[in-house]
């Protein structure tokens, strides 16, 4: 982990996770942003190269493969980690902080992994740690959601593991290198499947809107950034140019916003938006021109910041009002003005309004798709922008902060100051990247020239957003949120699950019950009977011989001692008899010879 | 080749505990006696650290000291180590302070005499492993019997008189045959020096009887089935420190004897008797496992598990291949660490509940989590769980067994399964059994952590990174096996001019020169 010029950022987070449970008192919360700051320093100072190679059991694990692609992701991970930890500084629950630290460490580990073994290790670390971020919400639905999340992610991890091991058998190495689309074999597709689970590719995405709204307020902020963007990174590293990603990404983008428009829970809307926005990135990776790849990376960067900000602001509303359901909220603008303002910064960023970060990143992917003559994909991605602005930019804030007069009987828990600070940093970055895109563009790994602020781009987005706004104004009553559950692909997961359970319950369980009975009666009882028999054998037979011999010798000694009568007559008689016997014996021998 | 040493390190290691023991009568206070013994133990361990500068690649013995003792009878004071004995000496030296620590509250009466015996025993044990003169070896071998006998007889359990006398007479009876063998070797070769004896060849008839005599002594010590019944009695009745030393060090002397004497001095006989020894080893493994499964007394269970584990060791030795002997030697070290720790743990729980029965110590997991963690770790090591030290040793022995003969390997596998059965059964009952009896007990104190943590660290170190340990023992074993193979090889030389029937094949394991 420690090279000559590189201190792996994951080290700081793992160290914090290790010592946090041991720290007493209350002041440990000040330590929380420290690993993130150190991570930022580490990422800023690192030079490209390979660091931290470990040889174990005949394999070489590369823990620090640093190049521009990895650095841009690590850069934003570090910044978002800092924002996230500042946001969660008010929590006294150490378990949540430990889970978040390990989760972030896993993210960094995946980004810098040079081989599949290291990647898998950190991938599973992220899986487990993020499950705890859901479970630590300590509600009944969160517990169930956490289980579902964990099962699904374990399935994804197993796809990855299986693909990677079979690939090793065939190719002979675990090195994490790009796979060309024409060279891909079935095991490469298996690995791709594993990555797509984390990237929430439709139809493998249903875990995201199921689990993220049920996570803790601070946990959701972390989770929105790391799991999906790590998946984007590994797809960018290993599977750029795959057509299935290009098409699948566009489908994701449109699918996500369709569901987002009809959802009621604010955080569920945002979760579907993650699906949608990641769709942009995945499509960019699938199309794989330098411009779209740059667009995917830039979009990942900007998305982490503004999605984090979105989750932070809705989290603040949830914290204050106790609910995230739009039909139960309304009229909060007067009492939570800053939350509203910061939310709108993020909302316009995600919609791609000029002067904010979404405009300089999202449009790059769309422009790249158009330049690569992928007309349908480009149109699909543009369409998704409409839905994004409609649901996140208009519907959510309107129904959360306006729509109804404020219900003064509802008391709002005051939002802690650290949350405002974190949100402020996020909003500042959204704006900063928007007006100074060179900050982001300088970090991008591929060579492509793109100018966001052209007249045509600004006009295009203004038309799009303007008409979307007008449409919302016309249809606002139709878009009113209603409580309810919109069934998504989980229908199919549940179906498969029930079938599998039925298979286990009837034929397998029957065989197992019968076999367990055989094992218990024949095997176990038989073995214990043998054991008891051996024990008895040991005591009676072997020890019998040993102790018996000792006893025999003792009794012989006793008998011999019985001849010690102490009476002279006995001794003289004995001596004489012995002498006569000896003489007789000698005489007999001499006669015989 | 001998590497002389400038500072008499081995002599110092042998005589420091003796000096400490001699100083004990001058200390009045019980607490000071314990502290003094502990300090002697720590000094001893510190003094043994230069032994780690042992160079594995150099053939022959190192840290050698040779002084004429009784020149008229050919006796020399001859000490030295090679890869085989180095680890055993380190084990003995490392266990001394731990034994002192685990007897801190356990021993209530006659503290001074107890520590005197402990120090004496350590001296004798180091002497056994380090001596290269046969009579000196026998002297130390017998010298450790009396302190052990007293340890059991004075500070032992209810049936201590029976157990101590049984241990003493049984082991002594075996050792008398060893003395006969020593004298026979002297008559044959004219020297008591072991390295010199190793260079000579002996006729097969001589080897046959010499092997039997030596093997009897070592088989009783190991202990091998069916000479093992002294072990459960001795272990159950001995105090904790006594059990630890008995299991960790004394048992290893038997197998050390096989490696040091039977294989180099009587190789043809060893090869001839190998089927018998392998059979007895497998019987030990399976029998020890079966009987352990049926025990209700914790100490007896672990005692029988020792029989099983030492069966693996002797099995490995008589495979005569690198993997097997390597595994056997490593298992000697591992068993010392693991079983020593298990006995310490049983002693710790005995201090709390005053009973060794499993039924009186169930359900401890809820109240003594730290204790259960250590017990779990050492149980896993005892059953040979991967990641722990015993796994490395057992797997090497099994690889050696399978290399030699698949049937032998297949017969040894149930022994490993039985080890899992009885250890997990014990662990389950202790951790989660009902009715729970742990509510009045306190968890481990700092002293108990102090003697368990180093052993736990060693378990994991040897289990996960055994390379360094194996590199120490490998060259010596390779040398041993090469000498063994060259001595038992078939060689023939035919006089080409003579009228002989062609081809002249020779019987296996005989070295004949046809004229």
Beta-bridged to residue A270, according to DSSP, are: none
Residue A129 pLDDT more than 60?
yes
ipTM greater than cut 0.85: no
Chain A residues with CB under 8 Å of B421 CB are 527
Q: Is B464 on the interface with A (CB under 8 A)?
A: no
For an interface test with A, which of B163, B229, B289 has the most A Cβ atoms less than 10 Å from its Cβ?
B229
Chain B residues with CB under 8 Å of A528 CB are 293-294
Chain A residues with CB under 8 Å of B226 CB are 542
**Closest A-chain CA to B287:** A534
What HEC string does A388-430 produce?
HHHHHHHHHHHHHHCCCCCCCCCCCCCCCHHHHHHHHHHHHHH
For an interface test with A, which of B165, B283, B293 has the most A Cβ atoms less than 10 Å from its Cβ?
B293
Q: Is B386 on the interface with A (CB under 8 A)?
A: no
**Rounded distance between C-alpha atoms, residue B191 and residue B200, angstroms:** 11
A/B interface, count of CB pairs below 8 Å = 33
Residue A213 pLDDT more than 80?
yes
Residue A554 CB burial class (10 angstroms; 0-12, 13-18, ≥19): exposed
Residue A559 CB burial class (10 angstroms; 0-12, 13-18, ≥19): exposed
What length is written for chain A? 593
**Among candidate residues A260, A274, A265, the one with its CA nearest the CA of residue A318:** A265
Percentage of chain A beyond pLDDT 70 is: 99
**Domain segments of chain A as ranges:** 1-236, 240-484, 489-543, 561-593
- CB–CB contact B293 A538 (8 Å): no
Element (H, E) at B75: strand B75-81
State the sign of the Cα–Cα–Cα–Cα dihedral B401, B406, B411, B416: positive
Chain B residues with CB under 8 Å of A557 CB are none
**Total-model pTM:** 0.71
- CB–CB contact B421 A527 (8 Å): yes
| Shortest CA gap A539–chain B (Å) | 8
Strands B75-81 and A59-66: unpaired
Strands B2-4 and B61-70: parallel
| Shortest CA gap B169–chain A (Å) | 10
Chain A residues with CB under 8 Å of B232 CB are 538
Residue with tokens 């029965």: B357
Chain A residues with CB under 8 Å of B387 CB are none
Assign A27 a pLDDT band (cuts: 50, 70, 90). Answer: confident
Domain assignment of residue B513, yes or no? no
Residue A590 has a CB neighbour count (10 Å cut-off) of 8
Domain assignment of residue B492, yes or no? no
Give chain A's mean pLDDT.
90
- CB–CB contact B294 A527 (8 Å): no
Q: Which of residues 533-562 of A touch B (CB under 8 A)?
A: 534-535, 538, 542-543, 546-547, 550
Block means of pLDDT (10 residues each) for chain B, 515 residues, are 72 94 92 93 93 83 89 89 92 94 88 94 95 94 94 92 93 92 91 89 92 94 91 93 94 94 93 94 94 92 95 95 94 96 94 88 87 94 93 94 92 92 92 81 87 94 91 90 85 55 48 44
Q: Is A511 on the interface with B (CB under 8 A)?
A: no
pLDDT of residue B501: 54
pLDDT of residue A47: 84
| B79 close to B129: Cβ distance less than 8 angstroms | no
Residue A122 pLDDT more than 80?
yes
pLDDT of residue B496: 57
Average pLDDT on A263-273 reads 92
Q: Is B421 on the interface with A (CB under 8 A)?
A: yes
- CB–CB contact A550 B287 (8 Å): no
Element (H, E) at B161: helix B160-189
For an interface test with B, which of A525, A531, A543 has the most B Cβ atoms less than 10 Å from its Cβ?
A531
Partner residue facing B294 (CB), from A535, A543, A547: A535
Reduced to 3 states, what is the DSSP secondary structure of residue A178?
Answer: coil
**Closest B-chain CA to A535:** B291
List Cα–Cα distances, A543 to B230, B231, B234, B295, in angstroms: 9, 11, 13, 16
Chain A residues with CB under 8 Å of B294 CB are 528, 531-532, 534-535
pLDDT of residue B133: 93
Burial letters B398-417, b for 16+ CB under 10 A, else e: bbbbbebeeebbebbeebbe
- CB–CB contact B290 A528 (8 Å): no
Q: Is B169 on the interface with A (CB under 8 A)?
A: yes
Number of domains in chain B: 1
Q: Is B387 on the interface with A (CB under 8 A)?
A: no
Question: Cα A263 vs. chain centroid, distance in angstroms?
Answer: 25
Q: What is the pLDDT of residues A337-357, one digit of tens each?
A: 999 999 999 999 999 899 999
Q: Is B290 on the interface with A (CB under 8 A)?
A: yes
pLDDT of residue B238: 94
DSSP 3-state percent helix, strand, coil across chain A (nearest 5):
75, 5, 20
Chain A residues with CB under 8 Å of B292 CB are 531
**Rounded distance between C-alpha atoms, residue A207 and residue A209, angstroms:** 6
pLDDT of residue B514: 43
**Rounded distance between C-alpha atoms, residue A131 and residue A108, angstroms:** 18
Q: Is B293 on the interface with A (CB under 8 A)?
A: yes
pLDDT of residue B490: 64
Average pLDDT on A562-574 reads 86
- CB–CB contact A546 B293 (8 Å): no
Q: Is A530 on the interface with B (CB under 8 A)?
A: yes
**Rounded distance between C-alpha atoms, residue B422 and residue B414, angstroms:** 12
Element (H, E) at B77: strand B75-81
**Among candidate residues A124, A76, A348, A120, the one with its CA nearest the CA of residue A225:** A76
**Rounded distance between C-alpha atoms, residue A212 and residue B496, angstroms:** 91
| Shortest CA gap A526–chain B (Å) | 11
Reduced to 3 states, what is the DSSP secondary structure of residue B498?
Answer: coil
Q: Which domain holds residue B77?
A: 2-487
Q: Is A54 on the interface with B (CB under 8 A)?
A: no
Partner residue facing A543 (CB), from B169, B229, B295: B229
Partner residue facing A534 (CB), from B229, B287, B421: B287
| A277 close to A381: Cβ distance less than 8 angstroms | no
**Rounded distance between C-alpha atoms, residue B277 and residue A504, angstroms:** 49
| Shortest CA gap A18–chain B (Å) | 19
Assign A191 a pLDDT band (cuts: 50, 70, 90). Answer: very high
- CB–CB contact A534 B295 (8 Å): no
Partner residue facing B226 (CB), from A530, A542, A550: A542
Q: Which of A533-537, A564-568, B131-135 has the lowest mean pLDDT?
A: A564-568
- CB–CB contact A546 B229 (8 Å): yes
For an interface test with B, which of A56, A58, A529, A538 has the most B Cβ atoms less than 10 Å from its Cβ?
A538
Chain A residues with CB under 8 Å of B293 CB are 527-528, 531
Q: Is B116 on the interface with A (CB under 8 A)?
A: no
pLDDT of residue A2: 47
**Rounded distance between C-alpha atoms, residue B263 and residue B137, angstroms:** 17
**Closest B-chain CA to A526:** B290
**Among candidate residues B388, B386, B387, the one with its CA nearest the CA of residue B342:** B388
**Which range, A41-45, A83-87, A358-362, A454-458, is most confident?**
A83-87
In the 8-state DSSP scheme, what is residue A278? H
| Shortest CA gap B148–chain A (Å) | 20
My answer on whether omega of the bond before A560 falls inside 30° of 0, hence cis, is no
Q: Is A517 on the interface with B (CB under 8 A)?
A: no
| B341 close to B456: Cβ distance less than 8 angstroms | yes
**Which range, A479-493, A499-513, B227-241, is most confident?**
B227-241
What length is written for chain B? 515
| Shortest CA gap B424–chain A (Å) | 14
For an interface test with A, which of B223, B294, B429 has the most A Cβ atoms less than 10 Å from its Cβ?
B294
Q: Is B170 on the interface with A (CB under 8 A)?
A: yes
Q: Is A407 on the interface with B (CB under 8 A)?
A: no
**Among candidate residues B507, B509, B513, B469, the one with its CA nearest the CA of residue B493:** B513
Helices vs. strands in chain A: H and E counts, helices first: 24, 2
A464 Ramachandran zone, left/alpha/beta (phi>0; psi -120 to 50):
alpha
Chain B residues with CB under 8 Å of A547 CB are 166
State the sign of the Cα–Cα–Cα–Cα dihedral B140, B315, B223, B113: positive
């Amino acid at each position: 982990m420690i090279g000559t010029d590189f201190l792996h950022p994951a080290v700081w987070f793992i160290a914090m996770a290790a010592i946090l449970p041991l720290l007493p008192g209350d002041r440990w919360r000040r330590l929380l942003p420290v690993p993130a700051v150190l991570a930022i320093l580490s990422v800023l100072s690192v030079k490209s190269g390979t660091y931290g190679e470990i040889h174990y059991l005949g394999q070489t694990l590369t823990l620090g493969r640093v190049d521009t692609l990895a650095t841009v992701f690590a850069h934003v991970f570090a910044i978002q980690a800092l924002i996230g930890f500042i946001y969660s500084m008010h929590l006294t629950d150490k378990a949540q902080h430990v889970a978040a630290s390990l989760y972030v460490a896993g993210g960094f580990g995946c980004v810098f992994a040079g081989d599949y073994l290291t990647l898998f290790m950190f991938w599973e670390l992220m899986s487990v740690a993020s499950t705890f971020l859901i479970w630590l919400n300590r509600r009944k639905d969160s517990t169930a959601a956490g289980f579902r999340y964990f099962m699904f992610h374990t399935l994804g991890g197993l796809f990855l593991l299986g693909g990677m091991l079979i690939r090793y058998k065939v190719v002979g190495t675990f090195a994490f290198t790009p796979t060309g689309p024409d060279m891909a074999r079935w095991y490469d597709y298996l690995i791709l499947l594993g990555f797509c689970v984390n990237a929430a590719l439709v139809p493998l995405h249903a875990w995201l809107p199921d689990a993220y709204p049920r996570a803790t307020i601070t946990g959701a902020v972390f989770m929105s950034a790391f799991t999906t963007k790590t998946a984007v990174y590994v797809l960018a590293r290993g599977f750029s140019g795959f057509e299935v990603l290009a098409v699948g990404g566009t489908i994701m983008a449109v699918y996500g916003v369709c569901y987002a428009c009809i959802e009621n829970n604010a955080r569920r809307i945002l979760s579907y938006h993650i699906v949608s926005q990641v769709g942009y990135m995945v499509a960019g990776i699938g199309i794989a021109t330098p411009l779209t790849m740059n667009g995917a990376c830039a979009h990942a960067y900007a998305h982490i910041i503004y999605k984090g900000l979105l989750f932070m602001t809705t989290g603040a509303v949830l914290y204050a009002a106790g609910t995230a359901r739009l039909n139960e909220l309304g009229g909060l603008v007067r009492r939570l003005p800053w939350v509203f303002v910061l939310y709108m910064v993020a909302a316009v960023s995600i919609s791609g309004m000029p002067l904010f970060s979404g405009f300089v990143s999202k449009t790059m992917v769309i422009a790249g798709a158009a330049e690569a003559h992928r007309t349908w994909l480009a149109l699909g991605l543009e369409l998704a922008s409409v839905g994004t602005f409609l649901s996140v930019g208009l519907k959510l804030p309107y129904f959360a902060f306006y729509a109804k007069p404020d219900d003064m009987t509802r008391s709002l828990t005051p939002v802690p100051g650290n949350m405002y600070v974190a949100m402020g940093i996020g909003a500042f970055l959204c704006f900063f990247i928007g007006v100074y895109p060179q900050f982001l563009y300088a970090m991008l790994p591929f060579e492509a020239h793109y100018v966001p602020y052209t007249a045509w781009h600004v006009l295009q987005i203004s038309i799009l957003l303007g008409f979307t706004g007008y449409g919302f104004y016309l249809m606002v009553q139709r878009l009113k949120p209603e409580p309810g559950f919109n069934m998504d692909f989980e229908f199919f997961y549940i179906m498969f699950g029930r079938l599998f359970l039925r298979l286990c319950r009837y034929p397998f369980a029957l065989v197992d019950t019968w076999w367990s009975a055989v094992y218990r009666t024949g095997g176990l009882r038989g073995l214990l009977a043998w054991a008891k028999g051996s024990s008895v054998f040991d005591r009676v037979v072997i020890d019998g011989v040993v102790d018996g011999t000792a006893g025999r010798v003792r009794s012989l000694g006793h008998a011999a001692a019985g001849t010690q009568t102490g009476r002279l007559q006995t001794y003289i008689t004995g001596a004489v008899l012995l002498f006569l016997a000896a003489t007789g014996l000698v005489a007999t021998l001499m006669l015989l010879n | 080749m001998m590497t002389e040493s400038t500072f008499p390190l081995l002599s110092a290691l042998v005589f420091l505990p003796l000096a400490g023991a001699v100083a004990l009568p001058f200390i009045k206070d019980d607490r000071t006696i314990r502290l003094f013994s502990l300090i002697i133990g720590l000094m001893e361990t510190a003094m043994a650290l230069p032994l780690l500068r042992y160079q594995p690649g150099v053939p022959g013995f190192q840290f050698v000291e040779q002084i004429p003792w009784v020149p008229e009878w050919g006796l020399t004071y001859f000490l030295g180590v090679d890869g085989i004995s180095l680890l055993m000496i380190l084990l003995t030296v490392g266990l001394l302070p731990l034994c002192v620590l685990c007897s801190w509250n356990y021993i209530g009466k006659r503290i001074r005499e107890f520590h005197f015996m402990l120090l004496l025993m350590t001296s004798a044990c180091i002497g056994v492993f380090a001596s290269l003169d046969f009579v000196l070896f026998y002297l130390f071998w017998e010298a450790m019997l009396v302190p052990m006998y007293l340890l059991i007889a004075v500070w032992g359990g209810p049936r201590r008189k029976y157990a101590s006398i049984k241990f003493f007479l049984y082991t002594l009876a075996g050792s008398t045959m060893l003395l006969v063998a020593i004298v026979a070797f002297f008559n044959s070769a004219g020297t008591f020096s072991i390295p010199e004896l190793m260079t000579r060849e002996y006729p097969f008839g001589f080897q046959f009887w010499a092997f039997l005599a030596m093997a009897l002594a070592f088989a009783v010590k190991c202990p091998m089935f069916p000479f093992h019944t002294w072990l459960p009695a001795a272990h159950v009745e001995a105090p904790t420190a006594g059990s630890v030393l008995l299991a960790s060090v004394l048992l290893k002397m038997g197998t050390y004897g096989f490696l040091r004497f039977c294989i180099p001095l009587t190789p043809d006989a060893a090869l001839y008797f190998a089927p018998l020894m392998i059979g007895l080893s497998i019987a030990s493994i399976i029998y020890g496992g079966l009987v352990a499964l049926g025990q209700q007394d914790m100490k007896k269970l672990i005692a029988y598990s020792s029989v099983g584990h030492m069966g693996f060791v002797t099995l490995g030795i008589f495979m005569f291949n690198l993997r097997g002997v390597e595994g056997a030697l490593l298992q000697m070290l591992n068993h010392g660490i693991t079983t020593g720790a298990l006995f310490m743990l049983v002693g710790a729980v005995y201090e709390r509940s005053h009973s060794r029965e499993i039924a009186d110590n169930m359900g401890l997991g809820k109240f003594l989590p730290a204790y259960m963690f250590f017990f779990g770790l050492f149980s896993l090591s005892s059953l040979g769980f991967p990641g722990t030290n015993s796994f490395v040793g057992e797997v090497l022995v099994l690889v050696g067994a399978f290399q030699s003969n698949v049937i032998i390997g297949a017969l040894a596998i149930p022994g490993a399964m039985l080890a899992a059965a009885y250890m997990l059964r014990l662990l389950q009952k202790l951790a989660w059994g009902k009715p729970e009896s742990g509510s009045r007990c306190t968890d481990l104190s700092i002293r108990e952590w102090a003697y368990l943590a180093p052993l736990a660290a060693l378990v994991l170190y040897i289990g996960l990174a055994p390379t360094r340990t194996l590199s120490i023992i490998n060259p010596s074993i390779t040398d041993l096996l090469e000498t063994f193979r060259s001595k038992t090889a078939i060689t023939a030389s035919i006089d080409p001019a003579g009228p002989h029937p062609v081809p002249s094949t020779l019987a296996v394991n005989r070295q004949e020169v046809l004229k």
